[in-house]
Amino acid sequence: MTLTHKHMMKFRDREVYFDTPKVMGILNVTPDSFSDGGQFNTVDAAMRQAESMVTAGATFIDVGGESTRPGAKAVSLQEELDRVIPVIESISKCLDVVVSVDTSKAQVMTQAAECGAGLINDVRALSSQGALSAAIHAATNFNVSVCLMHMQGQPQNMQQKPHYEGVVEDVLGFFTQRIQDCTNAGLDYQHILIDPGFGFGKTLDHNYQILKCLQKFKQFDVPVLVGMSRKSMIGDLIQRDVNQRLAGNIATATIAALAGVGIIRVHDVIETMDAIKIVNKLQSI
């Protein structure tokens, strides 16, 4: 199957049509994220950044309270709740945007849904204790959707010699099994998105093999989310520091848009929107 031209998904009371790629703005309310740690870890600063991204054209704002960069340390449940819940609540009340919560903790998923989040974005694909049941509860009671991401290993060790028989086929196989497990447990297929997990337990070549074959991930007939913004797959290749990777960010986002992904998760919303407009024009002729 291929993604339908007007594939629609509900995120709480908002209907999003994936006729063109949508932009997800990254909002890390953490002190230690690899690119913007500490910049938006007050509600006021986070709101200003969220407003800026929505004005620039973001359909989603992804709020994260625990860094998942390679080697990142885990944070306590209460600390993560204290970071993300006030921000999610404020954005949900004040801005016309789908709020996504970037978490693997069941309690954070539940409270985020109660406070207005419309998407659960889980790098561990609902494998943490209680996460699947929390996601099913959120999807059923609040019409929340869920993004399942592929990761080999854990953030603490995922970049220590990642190995695959064939990275594209292995990740596709993971999604076949994980989607089946989640739907068997009661999660509605209509609430599922997938993310191949660029940079999560993958070498430079692994990442670009997936990027080259992104269209294969449309076989599940669910929106595909990708996040490559400012990552080492860009920096290591073009030899640029984390805040000098805009050209690489736009190149990878453009390739993803041409492949027909549903959501592109980025730091640089305005520039990515410009790239998508060009791709949309090209594909409309």
Domain ranges of the chain: 8-284
- Helix (H) and strand (E) counts in the chain: 9, 10
What pLDDT score does 4 carry?
Answer: 43
Give the residue from 126, 141, 121, 225 showing the smallest Cα distance to 183: 126
User: Does the active-site annotation cover 265?
Assistant: yes
What pLDDT score does 1 carry?
Answer: 33
Catalytic option among 12, 230, 231, 245: 231
Catalytic option among 22, 105, 202, 265: 265
pLDDT < 50 positions in the chain: 1-5, 34, 36-37
What pLDDT score does 159 carry?
Answer: 66
What pLDDT score does 157 carry?
Answer: 63
The pLDDT tens digits of the residues spanning 238-263 come to 999 989 999 999 999 999 999 999 99
What pLDDT score does 156 carry?
Answer: 59
> Checking DSSP bridges between strand 22-28 and strand 60-64, what pairing results, if any?
parallel
User: Does the active-site annotation cover 231?
Assistant: yes
pTM reported for the whole predicted model: 0.92
H or E element at residue 132: helix 131-142
Asked if CATH classification 3.40.50.2000 holds for the domain at 8-284, the reply, yes or no, is no
- Pull the structure tokens for residue 137: 């509860």
Residue appearing with tokens 């492949």: 259
What pLDDT score does 38 carry?
Answer: 52
Phi-psi region of 187 (alpha: psi -120 to 50; beta: other; left: phi over 0): beta
Residue appearing with tokens 């049509």: 17
What pLDDT score does 111 carry?
Answer: 97
